[in-house]
Amino acid sequence: MKINVAIIRYAGYKKVLRTMKIFIILFFTSIISISANTYAQQTKLSLELNQVTVKEIIEKIESQSEYVFFYKDDRIDLERELDINVEDKTIIEVLELLFKGTNHVYKVEDRQVMIGVKETKHLNPDIEKEAKQQQPQKKTITGKVTDENGEPLPGVSVVVKGTIIGITTDIDGNYSLDVPDDAQALIFSFVGMKAQEVIIGTQTLISLALEEDAIGIEEVVAVGYGTQKRASVTGAVSTIKSEEITSVPTSNINSTLAGRTPGVIVRQASGRPGDDVASISIRGFGVNNTDDNRVQNESPLIIVDGIQRSFSQIDPNEIESITVLKDAAAAVYGIQAAAGVILVTTKRGIQGKPIVSLSSTFSMTQNTQFPKYSNFLEQYNALKYADPGKQEQILSNLQGRITPERYAGLQDGSIPGTDWFDVITRDFTPMHQHNMNIRGGNERVKYFGSVGYLNQGTIWSSKDFNYERFNATMNMDVKVTDRLKLSMDFSWRKEYHDRYSTDGSNDLNQLTISEPGFPASLPNGAIPVSNATIGNFNPIAITTKSISGYKLNTVNVVVGSLDFTYDIPGVKGLQIFDKLAVNNTFDFEKELRVPFTPYYYDGNTYTAIEPTQSTYLGHTDVTLQRLTNQLGLRYNGSHKKHNYSGLLLLETLQDKGTNLFASRKNLISGSVPYLFAGEAASQQNNGSASEFARLGCVGRVNYNYDGKYLLELSGRYDGSPYFPKETRYGFFPGVSVGWVISREPFYNEEGFVNRLKLKTSFAQLGNDNANSFDYITGYKIVTGNETYVFNNQLLTGLGVLGIANPFITWQRSNTYNVGIESGLMDNKLSVELDVFYRKRFDLLARDNISLPSTTGATVPLSNLESRDNRGVEFLISYRESFNKIKLNTSFNFSWAREKYLNYVESETFENEDQERIQRRSNQWVNRTFGYVFDGFFNSQEEIDNATIDYGGGAGNGNLRPGDIKLKDLNGDKVINSNDQRVIGRGIAPEIMYGWNTSLKWKYFEVNMFWQGAANFGMNMVGYARNVDDRVPFQYIAENVWTPERGNDAIFPARSNGVTNYNFIDKYFVNASFVRLKNLSLAYTLPGSMTEKLGISSCRFTLSGTNLITIDNLGVYPYDPESGGPMSYPAQRVFTLGLNLSL
C-alpha cells in the first residue's frame, strides 16, 4: 500500500493560532463576568483559637485557604503561644494581629506568605552609610517552571533560601526575580509537587520541571458527597487520574480501568463499535449474578459529579479522576452500594488566564485473534467420518448451482473456495477522536468547557455500521458573594449507533453457515447464494446497509445541574447546600429490513431465490428522565489538634420513562424509509410508561486527632418502592478507623519506613435491584401465544402476575476490611495492602420445594439464601530519578472468590454422587462441573467390546468411531450425570493484576502497561468444537478425529454423538493470560520551539493497545477476553496522537 502525504506550509499559521485562541477566549469571557479582585483581597479568614502556637495558627490558615507560608524555622518563634479570635478578616489583618509587637515582617504575594525578621538598624549614620555601601548588589534571575510533561506550572513559589524574597510564576510558568549577589539557592515549591532547591552560582537563567509528589498524602480525593485528603482516608479507596485515563485511546471509559487499580475486574467481550463497553466488577462482586432461580443483579453504582448516571461514553478528556469505593467508604450510598461505587469527577475551571487545549488521535484497528474458516476441501475431508451423508450433502448442495469448472476445481483443490470472513471484512479499520477544551477563571468565576468527537469504524468491507459520538460539556463555578457559591454544569452527548437489521449483535453467526463452495460474486454483479439450504441468504448483503437495511439508534443525552453552597453566618465552618440535577435520555431506534434476491449461476442460467419476507420499517422511541435533588448541611471545624467534620443530607431520585413503538410492512421502496410509505393494513403500534422513585437520608461524621487517630461514622436510611411499607425502609451503617503510626512521637519518620498507617472498616450495605414490586398481587396484559383463541382469532387478555410475597425485603451485605499503607525509602516506595470479607444474606431465590411448580403459578422470590466473598488486594509503586532518567513503576494484584453459605437446594438427593455434584451450600460458586475425557473410540470393534454403557442406560448403539470416551468415575459401568467432577473454575477471573511503568528522559517518555488475569476458563462448546453442524473452523478441521490421528486428535468426528456435546475437561481450557495492554512513546517539544511556534506546549504520541497476548488457549485462536466464536473480535489499536495547548 502506498501512502501519499501532502504537507501544506502556511506562513501565517502563527496568526491563525493566535486568532483561534483569541476567539475562543472572547467567546467564553463574553458569557461570564470577570472580576479583577485578588485572592488576598477577597479571601476572608475566621479563626477562634485559644492558647495555640504560631505554628498551629499557620497550619490552620493553610488548611482553611490556599495560602502557603514560607519561613526559616530558626529565625521565627513558632512556639510562641497566643489567643486569636477573628471573623471574616483578610490575611493582612490576621498577620498584623499574629506578629504585633514582634520583630517579624511579612510579605503577601497572591497565595504565598513569606515571613522574616526585621533587620536591626544602625544608630551611627556613618556606620549605616558604610553598611549600605557594603551591601551586595542584586542580579536578576529568570526562568520557566513546568511539570514533568513540559506543561507550564502557574503559581509556583520561587523563594531565595533563607529570606522572604520571592515571587510566583505566571500563567505560562515564567518568573523574573531580583536576588542579592550573595544569594546561595532558590527554592521552588508547588502543592502536589516535590519542592526543589537549586544552587544559583553564576546562573541567571534557571528553568526546571517539578516532579509530582511520590506519596500524594496532601492530594484531595473524591469520596461520597464530598472530598477528603488522602492522608485522612480510612476506607479502601483507589483513584485513577486523568493522565492515566487519556494515555490509552479508547472509545469507552470502562476499558481504561482494566488493570489500573487493584480490586477492579474489567472484561471486554466484544470489540463491536458502540457495543464494546466493558463490564466492571469491584472485588468480584456481581460476576455470578444469575444462577438457576436466583437473582442477584449486582453491579457497581456509578456516580458522575454527584449524580447517578452512566459514564462509559463520556469523553475521556473531560474527566479529572475516577475513584473506586470498595468498603465502608461506600456506606453513604447504602441503597445500591453493595457491589461498590465508582465516582467520576469531571474537570472544572482553575484560576488563571484561559488555557485552550486541542487533542487528536488517529487510530487503525485490527482483530487481536479470530479463527480462520476452513476452505472447501478442508471442510469436505473433515466430514469423512461424520454421520453418513454429510460429505454427499455438501456436493449435492453445489451441483447445478455453481459452474461446472468451479465444481471440479473445488474437488481437485485448484479452487480453495470462498473465505467469506476475508470477503466481508477488512484488515484495518480507522478510528479517530478529537477534543478541544478551555479552562480558566479568576477569583469570582472559574470555567471549563469541552467539545469532542469520536468516529469508530467497523471491520466490514462495506464500511457500514460505524459508531459516532459527539460530546459537549460546560462546568462553571461562580462566587456570588463571600458566602454564596454557585455551580452550573451542562453536558450533552449524541450517539449514532448503526447495526445491521436482522440482529445487531449476531452478524458473525452468518459466517458459520456461508459455505465456501459458493462464489462471492457473479459475472452479472448479482448477489450470489451462500447457503443452499437457506437460499435467501448472503453475508455480503447482511453487512451492507444499501442491500439488507439497518438498525440505527440515535441517542441524545442531556444532563444539567445547578447547586449552591452557602456559608451560614454565626457558625464558622457550617454550610448549607443544595444540588438539583436533570438527566434526560432520548433514544430513537429506526429499523429497516429490506429483502434481497440472491442467485445461483450454473454457467448458463441465473436462478433467483425470491425473498420470503417483505420490507419492514419499525420505529421505537424511548425517553427517560431522572430528577435528583440533594439538600444538606456540611460542617468543618477544629480546635487545637482536634479536627472534625460532618454531613447531613436528604436525597430524592425520581425516574420517568415512556416507550412508543410503531411499524409497517410492504414499503413502496427501501429508499423511502418512512412509515407513510408502508402498507396501512400491516401497521402495528404499542406503548408503555414507567415511574420510579427513591428516598434516602445520609449522615457522616469524621474526626481526626493531630492527623494520627482517624474515625469515620456514616449511615444511610433508605426507602425503596420495590418493597411493602413494612419492609420498605432500611438503615445501612458504616464505621472505619485509622491509626497513622508514623506521626507518633516514638516513631522515627527518617528511618527506612517513613510513613505507616493502619486502617479497618465495617459497613452494612443493601441491594434493591434484584426484584420489582414482587409484593403486589395483580394482572398484566398479555398478547400473542399467551392469550386465548376466539372465533379463530388471538385476542388480548389478562394474565396474573404470579403469587405475591408481602414479606420481601432488602438483600443485605456486611463488609469488613483491614488495610495497611506505608511509604519506604524516603517515600520513594509505596505499599498498600487490603484484606476483605463480605457476607451477603437475605438473598432472593425461589423455593420450589415448599411450593412446587406443579401448583401452576410462578413461585415468588423470597429472602432465603446467603453467600460470602473474601479476597486480598495489593499495590506497590516506586519512583526514582537517576541522571536525567525518571522512573515511575507500579504493580497491583487482587484475588477474590465467592462461596455459597445457605442455598435452597432444588431437590432431595438420591445418592452421594448427586449430592456431591448438585449441593451448593458451603461450596465455592465458581466451580464448573463436567465429564473427564478418556480418549476416542478408534474402531467399531472397540465400541462393540466396551463394558461401559455410554448411553446413560440406553446402550451403545448410537456410538460411532471418532466419538469421545468418558471416564466412569463412580465405577457403576454407566456414564451419566453422576460421573461429573469439578473440571475448572468459573468463566470470570479470580485474579487480576497490572504492571505500569513510565520512563522519562528529557523530552521523551515511554509508557508500558501490562495486564493479566488468572484462575478462570473458557468452555469450548458449540461452534468452538463442532465439525458438522456448520462450516468448521480451520483449527477444527485440522484436528478432527480420523483413524490415522486416533487419540492424537483433539475433536470428535461428529458433533451429535451421545458423548460429544457434553461439558468435558478437555474442552474447558485455562483462559489465564498476560497482555501488553498499552505501549506508548511520547515526545514533547522543548519550550524554545513552542515559543517560536506561538503555542504553550506540543506533544506527539505513538501508541499501541492489545499488542501482545500470552495465553494458554492452545489450538483455540480466540482472544481470552472475548465471548467466543460468535463475538465481534476484540481490537488491536495503533494510534498517532497530537496534543496542543494554546
Is 341 domain-assigned?
A: yes
Q: What is the DSSP track for 653-701? A: EEEEEEEEEEEEES-S-TTS-SGGGSEEEEEEEEEEEEEEEEEEEEEEE
Q: Residue 41: what pLDDT?
A: 61
Same domain? 199 vs 309: no
Q: Residue 632: what pLDDT?
A: 95
Exposure class string for 796-829: b at 16+ Cβ within 10 A, else e: eeeeeeeebbeebbbbbbebbbebebbbbeebbb
Same domain? 350 vs 251: yes
Q: Residue 163: what pLDDT?
A: 80
Single-letter amino acid, residue 415: I
Domain end among 359, 383, 418: 359
* CA dist 605 → 349, 401, 518, 591 (Å): 71, 9, 15, 35
Same domain? 185 vs 44: yes
Tally the C-alpha atoms within 13 A of residue 913's C-alpha that lie toward its C-beta. 14
Is 116 domain-assigned?
A: yes
Q: Residue 254: what pLDDT?
A: 81
Alpha helices in 589-644 (DSSP H): none
Q: Residue 110: what pLDDT?
A: 67
- The tally of domains found in the chain comes to 2
**Which tens digits make up the pLDDT trace of 633-658?**
999 998 889 999 999 999 999 999 99
C-alpha span between 514 and 90 (Å, rounded): 79
Q: Residue 24: what pLDDT?
A: 43
- CATH classification at residue 91: 2.60.40.1120
CB atoms closer than 10 angstroms to residue 613: 10
Is 173 domain-assigned?
A: yes
Q: DSSP 3-state assignment of 505?
A: coil
Is 266 domain-assigned?
A: yes
Backbone angles phi, psi at 167, to 5 degrees: -160, 170
Q: Residue 784: what pLDDT?
A: 63
Do residues 636 and 232 lie in contact, with contact meaning Cβ atoms separated by under 8 Å? no
Same domain? 150 vs 287: no
C-alpha span between 102 and 99 (Å, rounded): 6
Q: Under 8 Å CB-to-CB from 961, ≥6 apart: which residues? A: 385, 936, 937, 938, 939, 940, 942, 943, 1041, 1043, 1053
Q: Residue 902: what pLDDT?
A: 92
Do residues 495 and 468 lie in contact, with contact meaning Cβ atoms separated by under 8 Å? yes
Q: Under 8 Å CB-to-CB from 360, ≥6 apart: which residues? A: 432, 433, 434, 435, 1137, 1138
Single-letter amino acid, residue 860: P
Backbone angles phi, psi at 402, to 5 degrees: -130, 170
Check residue 526 and report its DSSP letter: P
Q: Residue 34: what pLDDT?
A: 37
Q: Residue 785: what pLDDT?
A: 63
Is 847 domain-assigned?
A: no
Same domain? 57 vs 138: yes
Q: Under 8 Å CB-to-CB from 138, ≥6 apart: which residues? A: 178, 179, 180, 181
Q: Residue 20: what pLDDT?
A: 44
Residue whose C-alpha is closest to residue 518's, from 409, 391, 418: 418
Is 1141 domain-assigned?
A: no
Is 337 domain-assigned?
A: yes
Same domain? 185 vs 231: no
Same domain? 194 vs 307: no
CB atoms closer than 10 angstroms to residue 971: 9
Pick left, alpha or beta for residue 257 (phi over 0 → left; psi -120 to 50 → alpha; otherwise beta). Answer: alpha
Domain end among 150, 182, 209: 209
Longest dimension (CA), the chain: 126
Domain end among 359, 375, 406: 359
C-alpha cell of residue 697: 437520608
pTM over 0.95: no
Element (DSSP H or E) covering residue 14: helix 13-29
* CA dist 121 → 128, 446, 608, 1004 (Å): 8, 46, 110, 53
- CATH classification at residue 289: 2.170.130.10
**Percentage helix, strand, coil for the chain under 3-state DSSP, each rounded to 5:** 15, 45, 40
Helix axis angle, 54-64 to 91-98, nearest 10°: 170
Q: Residue 418: what pLDDT?
A: 96
Tally the C-alpha atoms within 13 A of residue 379's C-alpha that lie toward its C-beta. 29
Residues of the chain where predicted confidence (pLDDT) is lower than 50: 1-38, 120-123, 127-128, 130-132, 134, 504-505
Residue whose C-alpha is closest to residue 141's, from 78, 199, 83, 189: 199
Same domain? 166 vs 295: no
The strand pairing partners of 633, in sequence order, are 576, 648
1100, 1106, 1107, 1110: CA torsion to nearest 10: 150
Domain span including residue 72: 39-120+131-209
* CA dist 757 → 230, 704, 822, 1141 (Å): 12, 13, 6, 40
Same domain? 313 vs 169: no
Q: Residue 44: what pLDDT?
A: 78
Same domain? 177 vs 259: no
C-alpha cell of residue 773: 414490586
Residues present in the chain in total: 1142
Check residue 1064 and report its DSSP letter: B
Q: Residue 126: what pLDDT?
A: 53
Same domain? 59 vs 180: yes
C-alpha span between 242 and 314 (Å, rounded): 13
Q: Residue 359: what pLDDT?
A: 94
- Burial class of residue 1136, CB neighbours in 10 A (0-12, 13-18, 19+): middle
C-alpha cell of residue 1025: 468444537
Same domain? 156 vs 58: yes
CB atoms closer than 10 angstroms to residue 130: 11
Is 125 domain-assigned?
A: no
* CA dist 261 → 42, 240, 316 (Å): 40, 7, 17
Residue whose C-alpha is closest to residue 1033's, from 1043, 1020, 1016: 1020
Q: DSSP 3-state assignment of 477?
A: strand
